[in-house]
Structure 1
Amino acid sequence: MKNSIAKTTLNRGITLPSLIFIIGICLSTVLFPTATSAYLDLVKEFLFVNLNWIYVWSVTLFVLFLLFLMFSKYGKIRLGSNGSKPEYSFFSWISMLFAAGMGIGLMFFSVAEPISHYSSGVFGTNDFMNQAKGAQMYTFFHWGIHAWAIYGVVGLALGYFAYRYKLPLSLRSCFYPLLKDRINGKWGDAVDVFALCSTFFGITTTLGFGVVQINSGLKTLNIVPDTSFSSQLIIVAILITMSIFSATSGVNKGVKILSQLNVVTVLLLLFFVLFCGPTVFLIGSFTEGLGDYINNFFGLTFNTHVYESETLPWFYNWTILYWAWWISWSPYVGLFIARISRGRTIQEFIAAVLIIPALFNFIWMTVFGNSAIWFDVNEANGALSAMAHNADQLMFLFLDYLPFTEIVSYAVVIIIVIFFVTYADSGILVMNGIATKNAEKSPKWQMLFWGILLAVMALLLLNAGGLQALQTMTLITALPFAVIMLLFCVSLMKGLIIDQKYYDQNYSVATVPWSGEFWKERLKTIVSFKDRNAVAVFLGRTAKPAFEELKEEFEGNGIEAKINMADKPERIEIEIKHDVVNNFIYGVKIHSKMVSEFMVQEENLPDLDDSKTYYPKAYFGDEREGYDVQYFTKTELISDVLKHYERFIKLISEKQNEMFISSNYNKNK
């Protein structure tokens, strides 16, 4: 019996190239930090300055695409079979959405970003209200619907193709309508390698910044003596061990419990700051800030600051950097969101992902950011603004102006620790899922492997000062992935259209007038495939006699009818002319369609020599979509013509349809 440790679910075609690239990039930033950082900064600056419009347009299209789907007929489609139910309760689902999407970033930037905008002078005036309003509006913009639309596109595409099409929960599956079975080859491996590297880089840099903030908080509380590498080594060792333990417990235990615990502690902290800070000012500023965000939504969305050259550096270093950062994070967050969203409708998914986390971000950023600005003006005499460049310390400096500072600081450190563990354990699960093509059950040593790799690389980068270079690398990879995400939208739309048509398809129209007589002949027709000559025979032997008999009967009732048919029959139609309204036309034409390769290869059906087959298709004078009439007998075809003629008479007899049906179409024909 083989040792279970030797077993692995890792896919070599994905794992080996990814590890070579990840370790190579990390070592280059560690061994040559200055040169690597300088080179990557040049590339990033070129992209941000010359190609920033790609980021702007991509994010804009993601928002518009999701809003369209939410309000369209496709919104009712489930991420799973039609009868599937959500796997998690609404509270658990939202808790995990929130924890995976923003977490540490909210703790790191909730005070730092508003204070940075407020103190930068980028809004053109030092007036308190204008500066504070501008800082709040752009903070909302960077942490609102646009950020979550990026995550939503990836998560929705993954969830749809995984649970609806029964494909692996892998980025390669999002290309199925475009690549078909080629997603299982080198193209699919390349997409997954890109996703794994991007996920690793994003998690490593974010966890590195989280360690720095935790270290700063512990130093403030005098738990550790300094912010040295040795302190960070101990912090990483403890937290990664907790993360590995949580990851090996699975989503249903570790991640779910930690996410719910975090939401509760975060809400307690939020209410504490709200009621102990400038409460009236915060409620008023949130109300006005939300209104400003809604009123300026499209202006902010399309603003490239091209007419405001003095604000362009700020635009590159904030808005474009954020769009690139969220895009680079989207494989990880999207995979995690998809993993927990089975059974949700597309409408429910989009509404929850776009609105609920964004609204919470607005509340959080208002309470912490605007409180910090208010304290900076009224009590700190600019002390917080002066420390705007020390983002990891700002949160703890801000807490000095609130009661129970030490207790609240401990609470903040605990929250950051839980966020850290939640990030890391969900990241370990996602990376292992990518590397194994979403294998159902992996040995626990693989979770240990990914956790140790994260810890080692984060510590090496922290020690060598290479985190900034790795972050820059992550931002650079966001540009090609933005293009990949646009293809996700195309692929998803193609899949949804096919999906909708499939489930909208009713029983064949041929079954409506059928009494069941001549069932043996009908079965023979159903399982046979026709060539063009066979359909031409149908036109001559079934459609033509039916129309001739109808013409005779119409004329017997005082109505002039005409049969139109070419010498070489490609189509035949019966036409009843009118002077005032459009002519009534019912015709049958030869139509072709491509047959699935599966049907061609199916042994339990009559042989099909070609992938193209032909059938007689009905068409109408008002250009409505026709249908297959190959099963109709002469009597049934007559019945079908009369059904449409009755509809025609009913339409032209209704006064409300006068403008629609009265035209010069017949006179110009």
Structure 2
Amino acid sequence: MSLSKSTFNRGIVIPSLIFIVGVCLLSVFFPTLAVRMLDTVKQFIFVNLNWVYVWAVTLFVIFLLYLMFSKFGNIKLGSNDSKPEYTFFSWISMLFAAGMGIGLMYFSVAEPMQHFSTDAFAGHHNINRVQTAQLYTFFHWGIHAWAIYGVVGLSLSYFAYRYRLPLSLRSCFYPLLKNKINGKWGNAVDVFALCSTFFGITTTLGFGVVQVNAGLQTLGLVSGNNFAYQILIVGVLTLLSILSATSGVDKGVKLLSKINIITVVVLLLFVLFLGPTVYLIGSFTEGIGNYVNNFFSLTFDTHVYDEATLPWFYNWTILYWAWWISWSPYVGLFIAKISKGRTIREFIAAVLIIPTIFNFVWMSVFGNSAMWFDLHFAKGALSALADNPDALMFRFLDYLPFSEIVSYMVILIIIIFFVTSADSGIFVMNSISTKNAEKSPKWQMVFWGALLAILALMLLNTGGLQALQTMTLITALPFSLIMLLFCVSLVKALTIDRSYYERDFSVSTVPWSGEFWKDRLQQIVSFKSRESVEEFMKNTVMLAFEDLQAEFKHNRIEANIREFEQPKRIQIEIRHDVINNFIYGVKSQVKVVSDYVVEEENLPDFDDNKTYFPKSYFGDAREGYDVQYFTKNELISDVLKHYDRFLEIISEEKNEIFISSNANENLR
């Protein structure tokens, strides 16, 4: 397919490629300098601005839990009658494979073992060290991590399927920026998302290649970890990813995700039943309780009172928060792509709870098994390999039956995990770079896959992968602030959404009959000027109040009519000494009309996007309403309804505190 048929958006692709290639070349040709420079920036952020990550992630968790239990939970990610595109199992499989993927294989043994053997907790008893290792592993892979993904995924899903905007990060700013999202600011957000996704997938490819190579070396299939083997592994993994991505989400991605989740469960059950089963079940149960009991203290803990653990805190908790945030544009976009038709409550519950529980089970089975073997059989041999996570998983398997067969299975899972991450990453990058074009030529998928492979190999060969990983972590700081704006934007949109669907008929229409239907129609389709509203107040409101005043006087009640300017308003008032005054007034109010309505041809023309209407107000803090459609008699009836309410309220002893005459001082 010719390049002329490309769907790439130049305003996104060109700046992104310049930045991506520039950073990668800097890391390739000056790896030591790049690592030193970027590490300096990263350390400054982690040491001095770690509280930004702590507060941001905490707010994401609180925000999603609030939405899940709030009135907004029933809102669908799509039209009110939309249905999910994927079965629940397919949906969970895909979001799980894209969200954690290869990290579960890489860190399931390595992270608990590193927490177990770190000097930061050296003073703890062995049992306490195991509990601490499990607790912090749960913390790093639990609700907090998925809340980060959930905020981005929910924002994208809502604005794409509910507002029918492009599936793009720029769309999440629509309530704040309106049509400005289509300009330079929108392009800047998408450039950021594209670069972040590319860097994240590239570093994941690096992790995957090294671990697959270590596994093949353990099995004796390759003689070492030289660059020639890495070229072959990268080539195979990238080819599989491109084939899966070009076949589409409905085919390759979904099929591989299902295969992967089934294979992972088989491996999990194998380790559970052939490892220390009773110990694992008990430790998992106790670990859940420990996590729940320490949830809030972990969430807000900055280790400021325990300086000995601060380096560990920067290199683990803060690094993890930065890592999940840096991955969230990619994972969020993919989750959004597959979540159309779900309700907000269903989305949040599934994204926060199901993967978290699975992660806890997985980390308990593998991590606690490794620590148990290390204490009872390995005599410290596994903890001695804590700094070599590439080989640690395969050394751990040596303590289980059928270790060679299981090692092959682990390599297969790592490959599938990488492919399911990379194919969805390629798909997402193409979506971002084309502003979510519906149909794109397949060569564009090949382009992103090839670029991933070439740059990953260059970085692996020169040792520049660490610099790229550090760059990815640095980008998390500005994106965490962007995500907080997503939350603000989403709340604003959800409030409007709920108001739209719950809005009842106008109070003005309640007394209508079919008697004056032609006049009513003329009023409805006419946008009012200030002059026309003032004319209504003079010929309808004033006359209604004068008739009321006369009738009140006939019933020996004194009612006063007062008229004000700036803004124009007229009110009828019955004064009292002991209780509040009764007031019913009408004022001229301005309203800004949507640009869509202004530009709509099938509506009456008007000069600008401002229209005026007469709005009622009262002697208390209640909100008034539009009375422009009332006739004189209907307006009189409305005043009498409020006067009847007033008399009912002041006659009840329990309302004394609300009817004090002190309020009258503010009205005179």
Same fold (TM over 0.5): yes
Question: Does structure 2 retain, via aligned residues, the 8 Å contact 1:550–1:638?
Answer: yes
527-536 vs 79-88, which deviates more? 527-536
Question: Does structure 1 retain, via aligned residues, the 8 Å contact 2:581–2:661?
Answer: no
Question: Does structure 1 retain, via aligned residues, the 8 Å contact 2:94–2:257?
Answer: yes
SS in 1 for 2:624: coil
1:460-471 to 2 correspondence within 5 Å? 460-471=458-469
Alignment partner, residue 53 of structure 1: 51
Alignment partner, residue 593 of structure 2: 595
Question: Does structure 1 retain, via aligned residues, the 8 Å contact 2:650–2:656?
Answer: no
| 1:448 maps to which of 440, 446, 451 | 446
Alignment partner, residue 386 of structure 2: 388
SS in 2 for 1:593: strand
Alignment partner, residue 278 of structure 2: 280
1:644: Cα distance to partner?
Answer: 3.4
| 2:118 maps to which of 95, 117, 120 | 120
Question: Does structure 1 retain, via aligned residues, the 8 Å contact 2:592–2:611?
Answer: yes
Letter in structure 2 aligned against 1:42: T
357-366 vs 638-647, which deviates more? 638-647
1:212-361 to 2 correspondence within 5 Å? 212-361=210-359
1:648: Cα distance to partner?
Answer: 4.4
- For 1:244 and 1:567, the matched residues in 2 are separated by 70
Letter in structure 2 aligned against 1:533: E
1:521: Cα distance to partner?
Answer: 2.2
SS in 1 for 2:382: helix
SS in 1 for 2:97: helix
- For 1:569 and 1:374, the matched residues in 2 are separated by 78
Question: Does structure 1 retain, via aligned residues, the 8 Å contact 2:572–2:585?
Answer: yes
1:605-620 to 2 correspondence within 5 Å? 605-620=603-618
Question: Does structure 2 retain, via aligned residues, the 8 Å contact 1:513–1:639?
Answer: no
Letter in structure 2 aligned against 1:376: D
415-424 vs 533-542, which deviates more? 533-542
- For 1:569 and 1:174, the matched residues in 2 are separated by 37
Alignment partner, residue 95 of structure 1: 93
Alignment partner, residue 43 of structure 1: 41
- For 2:159 and 2:187, the matched residues in 1 are separated by 17
256-265 vs 6-15, which deviates more? 6-15
Deviations 1:43-64 (A, max 9, x none): 1111111111111111111112
- For 2:23 and 2:550, the matched residues in 1 are separated by 83
- For 1:399 and 1:558, the matched residues in 2 are separated by 97
SS in 2 for 1:240: helix
Question: Does structure 2 retain, via aligned residues, the 8 Å contact 1:579–1:666?
Answer: no
Alignment partner, residue 362 of structure 2: 364
Question: Does structure 2 retain, via aligned residues, the 8 Å contact 1:248–1:444?
Answer: yes
1:454: Cα distance to partner?
Answer: 0.9
178-187 vs 99-108, which deviates more? 178-187
Alignment partner, residue 633 of structure 2: 635
Letter in structure 2 aligned against 1:29: S
Q: 1:282 to 1:602 in 2, by over 3 A?
A: same
1:663: Cα distance to partner?
Answer: 3.9
- For 2:631 and 2:184, the matched residues in 1 are separated by 51
Alignment partner, residue 416 of structure 2: 418
Deviations 1:444-483 (A, max 9, x none): 1111111111111111111111111110011111111111
1:639: Cα distance to partner?
Answer: 2.5
Letter in structure 1 aligned against 2:351: V
Q: 1:561 to 1:114 in 2, by over 3 A?
A: same
1:556: Cα distance to partner?
Answer: 4.9
SS in 1 for 2:540: helix
1:612: Cα distance to partner?
Answer: 2.2
1:555: Cα distance to partner?
Answer: 5.2
Deviations 1:21-70 (A, max 9, x none): 11111111111111111111111111111111111111111112212222
1:138-177 to 2 correspondence within 5 Å? 138-177=136-175
Q: Give 5+ residue unaligned stretches, structure 1.
A: none
Letter in structure 2 aligned against 1:596: S
- For 1:568 and 1:38, the matched residues in 2 are separated by 65
- For 1:440 and 1:605, the matched residues in 2 are separated by 32
Question: Does structure 2 retain, via aligned residues, the 8 Å contact 1:539–1:569?
Answer: no
Letter in structure 2 aligned against 1:16: I
1:554: Cα distance to partner?
Answer: 4.6
Q: CA RMSD in A?
A: 2.0
Q: 1:345 to 1:582 in 2, by over 3 A?
A: farther
- For 1:443 and 1:36, the matched residues in 2 are separated by 36
Alignment partner, residue 180 of structure 2: 182
| 1:9 maps to which of 7, 10, 30 | 7
420-429 vs 500-509, which deviates more? 500-509
Letter in structure 1 aligned against 2:316: W
583-592 vs 13-22, which deviates more? 583-592
- For 1:664 and 1:384, the matched residues in 2 are separated by 80
Alignment partner, residue 544 of structure 1: 542
Q: Give 5+ residue unaligned stretches, structure 2.
A: none
Q: 1:567 to 1:464 in 2, by over 3 A?
A: closer
1:74: Cα distance to partner?
Answer: 1.7
Q: 1:80 to 1:213 in 2, by over 3 A?
A: same
- For 1:568 and 1:186, the matched residues in 2 are separated by 41
1:620: Cα distance to partner?
Answer: 2.7
Alignment partner, residue 504 of structure 2: 506
1:102: Cα distance to partner?
Answer: 0.3
- For 1:568 and 1:198, the matched residues in 2 are separated by 54
Question: Does structure 1 retain, via aligned residues, the 8 Å contact 2:227–2:461?
Answer: yes
Alignment partner, residue 492 of structure 1: 490
Alignment partner, residue 401 of structure 2: 403
Question: Does structure 2 retain, via aligned residues, the 8 Å contact 1:112–1:388?
Answer: yes
- For 1:405 and 1:581, the matched residues in 2 are separated by 87
- For 1:107 and 1:583, the matched residues in 2 are separated by 73
Q: 1:213 to 1:634 in 2, by over 3 A?
A: same
- For 1:160 and 1:285, the matched residues in 2 are separated by 39
| 1:111 maps to which of 105, 109, 112 | 109
Give the number of aligned pairs.
Answer: 666
Q: 1:233 to 1:154 in 2, by over 3 A?
A: same
1:314: Cα distance to partner?
Answer: 0.6
Deviations 1:349-388 (A, max 9, x none): 1111111111111111111111111111111111111110
Letter in structure 2 aligned against 1:341: S
- Normalised TM-score (structure 1): 0.95
1:225: Cα distance to partner?
Answer: 2.1
SS in 2 for 1:383: coil
Question: Does structure 1 retain, via aligned residues, the 8 Å contact 2:156–2:168?
Answer: yes
- For 1:569 and 1:67, the matched residues in 2 are separated by 44
559-568 vs 627-636, which deviates more? 559-568
Letter in structure 2 aligned against 1:337: I
- For 2:144 and 2:558, the matched residues in 1 are separated by 62
Question: Does structure 2 retain, via aligned residues, the 8 Å contact 1:121–1:131?
Answer: no
1:98: Cα distance to partner?
Answer: 0.5
Question: Does structure 2 retain, via aligned residues, the 8 Å contact 1:618–1:627?
Answer: yes
- For 1:588 and 1:14, the matched residues in 2 are separated by 52
- For 2:294 and 2:15, the matched residues in 1 are separated by 45
Deviations 1:490-541 (A, max 9, x none): 2222222222222222222222101122222222222222232322222222
SS in 1 for 2:617: strand
| 1:85 maps to which of 83, 86, 89 | 83
Letter in structure 1 aligned against 2:338: I
| 1:76 maps to which of 55, 74, 77 | 74
Q: 1:643 to 1:589 in 2, by over 3 A?
A: same
Is it true that 1:18 corresponds to 2:13 in the alignment? Answer: no
% same residue? 71
- For 1:6 and 1:609, the matched residues in 2 are separated by 44
1:568: Cα distance to partner?
Answer: 7.8
Letter in structure 1 aligned against 2:300: F
Is it true that 1:64 corresponds to 2:48 in the alignment? Answer: no
Deviations 1:85-124 (A, max 9, x none): 1111111111111000001001100110011001113235
